[in-house]
Amino acid sequence: MCIRDRPRASTMPASLDTQLEKSIAQIIEEASKDEGYYESDRDREDIRKYYESIEHDTGEVRLYHEYSRVVTKTHARVFGYDSARLKVLYPYVDQHKDGALRSIYSGELMSPAEVMMEEALILMERLPKSRESFMDLGLDGVLALSDGLEDLLPEDEAMTVPYNCEHIVPQSWYEKRKPMVSDLHHLFTCERKCNSYRGNRPYGDHPDFEPDPLQIDLIEAELRKKCGLVEETENGMTAFEPEQNKGVVARATLYFLLRYRNEVGNAQGEMPLETVETLLKWHAEQPVSDYERHRNRAVFLTQGNRNPFIDFPDLADKVGFRESFA
């Protein structure tokens, strides 16, 4: 796996770097020690049990509320945003079968350990402690401090690293509140330039834009480095169409609409209701992959709930998403 060289986000004592590297390696090892990448036999039984209380043979409005009830009730653990990224997302949840992370919009490869190191160094710069005082903390200690202060700290430093975390549903739409801001089902590793380029724009289709198809399970696939296209749509809305993974982001967004009723507004500044049709189109065009099944199971084992549109792709056309909009 070839990952480009890049500058460090901060300059720290070599001994602290070594301590962090050990701590990060341990977190990555611990995150995946209980089972393999995606164990379909185990997951099949867990899926059956998870949805057994749902009445499937019903109308679209009732079906929306049935699934919304289950994914909300089973959302048992709410992480701090820093812990969500550095202890769960990068070490295991967002990894592909080869152990690499890939930028959600461009497909560019990156190392979990390198991404975690860059972000850990940024956190240390933000926290009100001397550099030497971090020596005995390790990454767990840094996160314990950071998660308690995250709402008080500026985020400008995050823009200095090549990679960061993309919220499929932008943070500004719900004022960076928990549990939305740290819900792993819609957090993905992303190149900073792509994250910034999209901003808080909704997704949308641009008829003349022809992205390269992503072969998501092909390790050595040559992928274009473009992020996508921001442009005004036919209905006058400025929207972002990703270069890659449109089906993946569509399913993550549909989950959000199910889990968080009335948190997304039917407005030009957020997500007009007609955007759902675009999401359903993308969902149909790109089938669910083992990468998504792995993510779904990994989030289930850590956060407690599942994305039904990964477990049952046909469900998306049966649910009344209008119920979600404020």
Give the span between the Cα atoms of 110 and 102, in whole angstroms: 6
Count H helices and E strands in the chain, helices first: 11, 6
Q: Is the pLDDT of residue 226 over 80?
A: no
What is the pTM assigned to this prediction?
A: 0.86
Q: Is the pLDDT of residue 212 over 70?
A: no
- Strand pairing category for 163-167 and 109-110: unpaired
Q: What is the DSSP letter of 298?
A: H
Read off the pLDDT of residues 126-157 as tens digits, 9 standing for 90 and up.
776 545 445 455 677 667 666 655 543 345 54
Q: Is the dihedral of CA 199, 203, 205, 209 positive or negative?
A: positive
Q: Is the pLDDT of residue 168 over 90?
A: yes
91 neighbors 112 (Cβ within 8 angstroms): yes
pLDDT at 16: 59
Give the span between the Cα atoms of 316 and 283, in whole angstroms: 8
Give the span between the Cα atoms of 205 and 240, in whole angstroms: 8
As a whole number, mean pLDDT of residues 147-172 equals 69
pLDDT at 294: 98
Number of C-beta neighbours around residue 208 at 10 A: 6
Higher pLDDT: 316 or 221? It is 316
Closest by CA position to 240, among listed 200, 267, 273? 200
